[in-house]
Amino acid sequence: MKVVLAYSGGLDTTVSIALLKEKFNAEVITFTADVGQKDDFVEIENKAYKAGATKHVFMDLKQEFADNYIKPCIKMNCLYEDKYPLGTALARPLIAKYAVLVAKKEGADAIAHGSTSKGNDQVRFDLTIMAEAPDKEILTPVRKFKLTREWEIKYALEKGLPVSIEHKKYSIDDNLWSRSIEGGPLDDESNFPEEDAFEWTVSPEKAPDSPEIHKISFKNGEPVALDDEKMNLVDLVKMLNVIGGRNGFGRIDMIESRVVGIKSREVYEAPAALILIESHKDLERMVLTPKEYRFKRLMDNEWSDLVYSGLWYEPLRSELQALGEELNKYVEGDVWVKLYKGSLMIIGRKSRYSLYRKDIADYNKGWYPTEDEARGFIKLWGNHSINAKLIREKF
């Protein structure tokens, strides 16, 4: 049997190489994707070979991640449960898709990953593989054998596998769009996160004493420039992560509803994601009609739920996204943001599609309804409600 393993270089996937060889008599090809995480990819490749892989495949997928996953995320204001910008949830279907492509190219019989049975990633990996390669078997050693960290460390020592046996305080997953921190002292939901949990953001108390103001320009709902400098999305996200991080902005601490039926305490850093989503929402609010804007809020929530839940291949996800693309044709213009000690404020916006008209909104001059027009509108507007109140009070 030949197996392609989605390989991170961590304990779970390194142990999985040996278990796939031992329990399944498999030839293991490891696959690692660069989606913006801060890893030493040469070291990861070396670890794969030392653990028994016969071949290692590496791909830089940052641009595709930005263009085909982060970009629609921005356009759909992707905040799961109004807080989490879907960093890991977006990356998993991309990684799994390319693991399938590697498997097809290498003539592999199965695709493996290191997810556990308690997390969301197993759903995202499995469903993507089922959609892209229904004929391929899915192998999950950690899930199948119900492995614990203690067992894995003991096994790794016995087999001489290249893993660190030092206890990691937190479980970290990062990519271009977000950094997730969980486990350790954070498992107690009442514990305040310590500063050693954070890497991208400084403590708001230690942020500069003067605010930073930046202009973000959008076209068709996509951020295309920062302070009038045109940038591709990968570079723009990287820059905003630095800008937001040094101002102490971008931390998220939430109790999250996992797909598998449990609540989990999750801490994230996502400066660029939150800056871009809030800026995009503000521009939408100005250029869309009230009906469009309110309906899109419903669309955004449903799209985010589908992606979080691993349903990237659900037709409704692509259908909602197509309608979102249509509405984003008018999301064009500039948004000014002010970052200061952990806070973000939208302080200005401008668009040729703006539905705001100063000549109408100005109280001192311009258009005014007559008193008869105002009275007539109010009476008709509230007629159903007033009639219901008066009639129901009779009985």
Active site residue 121: yes
Separation between Cα atoms, residue 7 and residue 29, nearest integer Å? 9
Report H helices in the chain: 11-24, 41-51, 62-65, 71-75, 87-106, 121-132, 141-144, 149-159, 233-246, 271-287, 290-308, 315-327, 358-361, 371-381, 383-392
- Rounded Cα distance between 248 and 256, Å, is 22
Beta bridge partners of 6: 31
Token pair in block for residue 324:
């979102």
- CA 387 from chain center: how many Å? 47
Residue with tokens 């390194």: 14
> 92 an active-site residue?
yes
Closest CA to 267 of 359, 170, 363: 170
Asked if 280 and 330 touch (Cβ cutoff 8 Å), the reply is: no
- In 10 A of CB 12, how many CB atoms? 20
Query: Which residue in 16, 92, 124, 180 is the catalytic one?
Result: 92
Task: Check 67, 149, 171, 265 and give the catalytic one.
Answer: 171
Q: Three-class SS of residue 306?
A: helix
Q: Distances from the Cα of 243 to the Cαs of 193, 335, 348, in angstroms?
A: 22, 16, 18
Catalytic residue among 8, 12, 16, 349: 12
CA dihedral of residues 62, 234, 84, 253 (deg, nearest 10): 100
Of the candidates 95, 98, 74, 97, the one whose C-alpha atom is nearest the C-alpha of residue 86 is: 74
Our CA dihedral for 273, 61, 43, 160, rounded to 10 degrees, sits at 100
CB 91 within 8 A of CB 7: no
Q: Which of 8, 16, 121, 349 is catalytic?
A: 121
Q: What is the Cα 276 distance to its own chain's centre?
A: 12
Catalytic positions: 12, 92, 121, 171
